[in-house]
Amino acid sequence: MSLEPRVIAALGRRALSVQFRRAQLLMPTFVLPLMLLAVIASGTSSAQDLEGFPAVGSYLSFVLPGTIIQGALLAGLTSGIALASDIESGFFDRLLAAPVRRVSLVLGRLAGTLGLSVLQTAFFLLVALPFGARYPGGVAGLAGTVVLAAVTAVGIGGIAAAIALRTGSLSLMQSIFPFVFVLLFTAPAFFPRELLTPVLADLAVFNPLTYVVEASRGLLAGDAELGSPIAGLGASLGLAIATTALAVFALAERLRTT
């Protein structure tokens, strides 16, 4: 099966431009994670005094990967919301009538998610800089973090697209917003895994975002002991491939049943 890069790129560009035209979709993805970062970085920074907390140069840099992954989750979710909106408005039906491969429709949507996540992660990394975040991992660490977040956003976008395609309901997509935080909070997003409650630490082992957060932490700090980049890449790639397949399957089901 050959891919259609021009179709995917065009659909990705459209997905991105729709997101930027609708401020109510962008507000949660860009502003909400930064607000949570500001509050957590300032409100819990005394946690560095706890026994077992790893020695880190900047507490803000330590919690920043949690924010980046939160952004990736929200980027994925909003792309599902935008897809559901296209389905409800009938635009998606017009796309289905176009002479393009159906899989390109899914990949185009996810290309938009990938682009949004790259912009978002770069924005978070830049905004945190004047507030004291430091990146000893250098350019390679920063680039690695952007890639990890983007692939993770595609992974979450795949789940969101699958749900949107199966249900076609905008209101349902909007109401799953809280459940996204379940994924975030069952990973060591803002605290080291060793200091989570025992139940949460056990759960975190099964959450792919655990490895992505820890890998980002390791990449930004240039310290592989904080997290393995290979494990992070494996987890995010595995998630992205599995959920993209799920979304393609959901589209096939939609075409079969409607």
Smallest distance, other proteins to C-beta of residue 190, A: 5
DSSP reduced 3-state for 163: helix
Q: Quick one: 2 or 49, whose CB is closer to other proteins? A: 49
How many alpha carbons fall within 13 Å on the CB side of residue 210? 16
How many alpha carbons fall within 13 Å on the CB side of residue 100? 22
How many whole angstroms separate alpha carbon 94 and alpha carbon 90?
Answer: 7
Q: Quick one: 96 or 195, whose CB is closer to other proteins? A: 195
Smallest distance, other proteins to C-beta of residue 35, A: 6
The token pair that represents 72 in the structure block: 């990736």
Smallest distance, other proteins to C-beta of residue 230, A: 25
Type of residue numbered 215: A
Asked if 155 and 239 count as a contact pair (C-beta separation under 8 A), the reply is yes
Smallest distance, other proteins to C-beta of residue 202, A: 11
Report CA-CA distances (Å) from 41 to 30, 91, 147, 209: 17, 42, 24, 20
Smallest distance, other proteins to C-beta of residue 241, A: 27
Helices 59-89 and 177-185: crossing angle in degrees, nearest 10, is: 150
Smallest distance, other proteins to C-beta of residue 39, A: 4
Closest of 62, 37, 67 to residue 47, by C-alpha: 62
Cβ atoms within 10 Å of 204's Cβ, excluding its own: 20
Q: Quick one: 110 or 212, whose CB is closer to other proteins? A: 212
Q: Quick one: 20 or 181, whose CB is closer to other proteins? A: 181
Q: What residue ranges bind other proteins (CB under 8 A)?
A: 23-24, 27-28, 31-32, 35-36, 38-40, 42-47, 49-51, 174-175, 177-179, 181-182, 184-186, 188-191, 195-197, 199-200
Q: Quick one: 2 or 46, whose CB is closer to other proteins? A: 46
DSSP reduced 3-state for 187: coil
Q: Quick one: 92 or 190, whose CB is closer to other proteins? A: 190
Smallest distance, other proteins to C-beta of residue 180, A: 9
DSSP reduced 3-state for 5: helix
Q: Quick one: 99 or 178, whose CB is closer to other proteins? A: 178
DSSP reduced 3-state for 83: helix
Distance of CA 142 to the CA centre of its chain: 16
Cβ atoms within 10 Å of 185's Cβ, excluding its own: 18
